[in-house]
A and B are shown apart, each in its own frame.
Chain A
Amino acid sequence: MVFFLAKRLIQSVFVMLAVAFLAFSLFRFVGDPVSQMTGVETSVQDQERLREDLGLNDPFAYQFARFTGDMLRGDFGFSYRTRQPVAEMIASRMPATLELGVVALLISLLVGIPAGVYTALRPRGFATQAILMITLVGVSIPTFVIGIMLIFFFGVQLGWLPTFGRGGTVNLGGWETSFLTVDGWRALILPALTLGVYQLTLTMRLVRAEMMEVMQSDYIRFATARGVPMGRLYFRHALANTMVPVITIIGLQFGGVIAFSIVTESVFQWPGMGLLFLESIRFVDIPVMGVYLVVIAFFFVLVNLIVDLLYVLIDPRLRISDVS
């Protein structure tokens, strides 16, 4: 078990290094940092001095090592566009994106898992066929169209919910949360639904496929023959054994949720990291792009490490043997 986790930890470090390298290459090779920081009136001598001060004349490996060191100490540099520290810009946008992502993921799981179990247990039922048809259409409708539809029905036609922004937020020691006001929750509903629907179809399809496979296995047949009550059979015996692949997919989905939050945030003008990233692409604000990438990769790696820990908790075999 320790070996298994250590291996995963080392892999994660390598992924982070690769992403940091990508961010560094962006910063170093896409456009010239010096010409971005200076104006037309800066003299060539000043430019050269700045180049030397920034260490852009140092050997490549040395520059990369310093870049990584700065990142580790939380020094992410300055935005080309706003001249503010990138760390502050990202940090002020992060709560909005994380809250949106967590609620979307919850919607995906709380609806997706029961729906997947139901459609697996009643494969020929009318409701199952209807649900499967809806999910096929759901997968084909782009996220932004789902967002527009929700805005149109609940925002414009019915006028029930706000269609842009975060509503009221409460500052909890630097973390702007919308969980504590009615207004904030109302503003959160439509974006979270938009983001959650696509993930929901993925969760449902996966749980359904796993569940159908497990239900065919010998131990379930034996349990049925033994007369185990249906409820216990389905949830204790069958569903528990589908959890390992399901948890894997949740880890992967988290990445999807964060990425698609770019689209959702754009539709709903949600002031999160995704919107910031879009702006930074439009203005070729390389430092912000690079740091966004590193932050996203960090969350992704972190979630997948937690997933690995959960494996150990869920699957007793991993706790006993040290082989895998």
Chain B
Amino acid sequence: MLAFIKRHEGLWLFTRSPAVMIAAIVAIAILIGAVFAPWIASVNPYDLASFSLMDGLLPPVWEEFGTEKFLLGTDDQGRDMISSILYGARLSLIIGVSAMIIATTLGVGLGLAAGYFGGRFDALIMRIADIQLALPAILTALLIDGIARGILPPEMQQDLRVVVLTLAIALSLWVNFARTARASTFVQMNKEYVQAAVMQGQHPLRIMFVHILPNILGPLLVIMTVDLASAILLEATLSFLGIGLPADSPSLGTLIRIGMQFLLSGEWWILWIPTLFLIALVVSINVLGDFLRDVFNPRLR
């Protein structure tokens, strides 16, 4: 019942805020573009046969020498910018969403268990969390990436790049979930319904996931959106640093790194169009996250 009212209240608030509506439209448009990239994009930027060097460095259609074939121009290899960006956003979103899901599962699982069992287990998890919090996420992700480079045999490095990157990002973001889940679980542990379930002798896993989890979803949902934005930014940053994805399977961050080479020459679109796209994506996710926080936390309104 409560959830139902909140949902309605959220819907009502949603229609009242133009910024949130624009953010939602932008986010959904990018999501659709990314999911259906293989059908929307005119060329496959990974397939060398589908583009030609002859089309290299064409400006967007509204500039002089721009053609309608490439609405946002081409890069130095003759790749259509729209296609590169859609495929790039696809990769960024795949990595961002999977990292977020892994971080949520791991963090919520550990946080719930820490809050439920308390004692030594709780202390252990929280000390690990404290130590990790002392290292900022980007440092953790870089470190995990470096370790993977040292451990994995060279021939597997290229194939596992996406997996390594996703895990590195996920492992640097789980702490937030664990702390929030733990704190919320502590609050729920004193509620009568949990104590009743414990008295009935229900299995701890059942109490944790069937009874407690639905009641702490609100704050977790907010962290999920905020962390999705962080995950996408982290991936972009790592790829920009040249640690993330290689140039032949570019994400948005890689596209920006490649575009940097054109900072001093006149081909502004190669750098600024992917940059603008990344900012639009992250800003709209953050606006939605702020909105969700307001919906779930009426005190702040």
Binding site for B on A (CB under 8 A): 15, 18-19, 26, 30-31, 136-137, 139-145, 148, 151-152, 156, 255-256, 259-260, 262-263, 266, 277-278, 280-282, 284, 286, 289, 293, 296-297, 300-301
Contacts and interface: CB of A to CB of B under 8 A. Distances in A.
B145 A145 contact: no
Interface string B268-299: 00010001001100110111001000000000
A136 B263 contact: no
Given A263-B138, A293-B143, 13 more contacts: A30-B150, A31-B150, A139-B286, A140-B279, A140-B282, A141-B279, A144-B236, A156-B264, A255-B134, A259-B135, A266-B241, A278-B142, A297-B135
Contacts of B136: 255-256, 259-260
B146 A140 contact: no
Nearest to B290: A136
B93 interface: no
Interface residues of B, number: 37
Contact of B138 (A151, A259, A286): A259
A136 B283 contact: yes
Nearest to B150: A30
A18 to B, nearest CB: 5
Contacts of B279: 137, 140-141, 145
A269 to B, nearest CB: 12
B261 to A, nearest CB: 12
Nearest to A14: B127
A278 B142 CA distance: 8
A139 B271 CA distance: 20
A30 B241 contact: no
Given A142-B236, A142-B278, A297-B134, A281 B142 contact: yes
B287 A136 contact: yes
Contacts of A143: 237
A322 B226 CA distance: 40
Contact of A281 (B145, B237, B275, B287): B145
B61 interface: no
A143 B256 CA distance: 13
19 contacts: A15-B130, A18-B131, A136-B283, A140-B229, A140-B233, A140-B285, A140-B286, A141-B282, A142-B278, A145-B278, A259-B139, A263-B241, A281-B145, A281-B243, A282-B243, A297-B134, A297-B135, A300-B134, A301-B134
Nearest to B133: A252
Contacts of A148: 256, 260, 263, 271, 275
B256 A15 contact: no
Contacts of A18: 131
A144 B263 contact: no
Nearest to A277: B142
A31 B151 CA distance: 6
Closest 4 CB pairs of A and B: A30-B150, A259-B136, A281-B146, A140-B283
B149 interface: yes
B38 interface: no
B87 interface: no
